[in-house]
Homo-oligomer: A and B are copies of this chain.
Amino acid sequence: MMNASKRAVVLLSGGLDSATVLAIARSQGYELYALSFSYGQRHIVELDAARRVTAAIGVKDHRIAAIDLRVFGGSALTADIDVPKGRGTDEMSHGIPITYVPARNTIFLSFALAWAEVLGSSDIFIGVNALDYSGYPDCRPKFIAAFETMANLATRAGVEGRQALKVHTPLIALTKAQIIRKGIELGVDYGLTSSCYDPGPTGEPCGQCDSCLLRRKGFRGNGIEDPLVYRADKTSE
């Protein structure tokens, strides 16, 4: 499928999932407009990863929108609450973790909608995942479908009856292992990405938060070595 002249807004955190989504959108022929956020996240090094990923994959434009989600608190990712470590996948699959940021995907998608409208784009890509999704309500398919319906009523395009906005979720039904396999097929260099919720000052991943644990499980599932070096491994040596 080629859409040479079509523009896509791709939400890019700098993590493994969104880097894969960027490569998928490129493989479908979209002109890429990557959107990242500086939102008071404790893992701000992911924005460096986002810059490395856009440089490697090639995008038409990359913007980093500054929004202050700390203004409300309520999450271990933005407030002064400890990130949980060393949880089993059973533990992760029950309940909503403290790393959940209230309404984060709603806010991120709303900004993507604004940029898509300015660009005349009707395609937004987001790397949400319903299998290894770590319990976040705003990663569920029915949330995405409801956002799409709302978005088509929110904008000029909706009023003027132009092409409907589509929220693409190419990872939604994939396991972490399948995502990694797909990315490797598309040439993604996962050594450029950053997934950790609680990285060291130089960006070194902890290896023990939910995000690190899911990522490492995904690499193991493919029998591949994760190109990142984890702090947990170094200290246990």
The quantity of this chain's copies bound in the complex is 2
Q: Are B154 and A103 in contact (CB under 8 A)?
A: yes
Q: How far is the CA of A149 from the CA of B140 in the complex (A)?
A: 14
Q: Are A143 and B137 in contact (CB under 8 A)?
A: no
Q: How far is the CA of A147 from the CA of B138 in the complex (A)?
A: 14
Interface hub of A66, A73, A100, A106 (most chain B Cβ within 10 A)? A106
Q: Are A154 and B106 in contact (CB under 8 A)?
A: yes
Interface hub of A68, A102, A117, A140 (most chain B Cβ within 10 A)? A102
Interface residue SS majority, chain A: helix
Q: How far is the CA of A68 from the CA of B38 in the complex (A)?
A: 11
| Given pairs A74-B114, A102-B115, A137-B158, 8 additional interface contacts (CB within 8 A) | A71-B115, A102-B113, A103-B113, A103-B151, A103-B155, A104-B114, A142-B153, A143-B154
Q: Point out residues on A near B: beta carbons under 8 Å.
A: 63, 65-69, 71-74, 96, 100-107, 110-111, 113-115, 117-118, 137-138, 140, 142-143, 146-147, 149-151, 153-156, 158-160
